[in-house]
Amino acid sequence: MAGEPTDETKCWKELLSGSKEAYAAIYGLHVKAMYRYGMSLVSISEEFVLDCIHDVFAEIWIRRERLTVPDNIRSYLFVALKNRILHLLKRQERPHMFVPQENFEDLWFESSAEDILTQKEESASREELLTRMVARLPPRQQEAIRLRFVENMDYNEIGQVLEVNTQSAHNLVFRAMEKLRGWLLAAFFIFQSGSF
């Protein structure tokens, strides 16, 4: 959503007709967010993420004559990056970095506020506490709130990246926020440590 969509679309069209400047401009507009997003998917291997971003952009250039203008460039690039990461991870003798969604969600047991707050003594700051709460959310919800609140994507775009419809994308964010609010309220009542 950031930037002027019309300018960006124009830029993309120039890229498709072979402009290296437009290509570099598109790169400059999106690479930081792609890096952030890529790093959130495969946590620590920076080199791997950079390789994948490289491949995504190289492929765009190579296939430019056959590409069209995507509805939303940011989510198009996120999807391309995620696919590249998955493709490379799968080629490694089918590991299960990302197991099927249904099974994956099951692995996350429901956390109660007490679970999180039992470690409160150690939590020096509010940021730490909130980070821990976010980390307790199921991974898809975490991904959805990153896209919604940090990348400022709308639900349509989030749906594209997560391969669900707009309503489901909204539900993921909604459920995450309900849970966070519940935990924050519990934290407030249990410890009287200030309003959320």
For residues 14 and 154, which CB has a smaller minimum distance to other proteins in the complex?
Answer: 154
Interface residue list for other proteins (CB under 8 A): 1-2, 20, 23-24, 27-28, 31-32, 35-36, 39-40, 42-48, 50, 53-55, 57-59, 61-63, 89, 92-97, 99, 103-104, 107, 126-127, 130-131, 133-135, 139, 145-146, 148-150, 152, 154-155, 170, 173-174, 177-178, 180-181, 184, 195-196
Unique residue bearing structure tokens 């590991």:
95
In Å, what is the CA distance from 155 to each residue of 44, 73, 145?
Answer: 27, 15, 10
Q: By C-beta, is 112 or 131 nearer to other proteins?
A: 131
DSSP 118: T
Closest CB 47 distance from other proteins, rounded Å: 5
Between 120 and 146, CB nearer to other proteins: 146
Contact status, residue 196 vs residue 186, Cβ threshold 8 Å: no
Tokens, residue 37: 């997003």
Helices (H), 17-72: 20-41, 46-62
Among residues 140 and 148, whose Cβ is nearest to other proteins?
A: 148
Q: Could you tell me the smallest distance in angstroms from the CB atom of residue 165 to other proteins?
A: 15
Q: Which is nearer to other proteins, 10 or 20 (CB)?
A: 20
| Ranges of H-type helices in the chain | 5-16, 20-41, 46-62, 73-91, 101-106, 113-117, 126-135, 139-145, 155-162, 166-191
Tokens, residue 168: 């489901």
Q: From the CB of 130, what's the least distance to other proteins, in Å?
A: 3
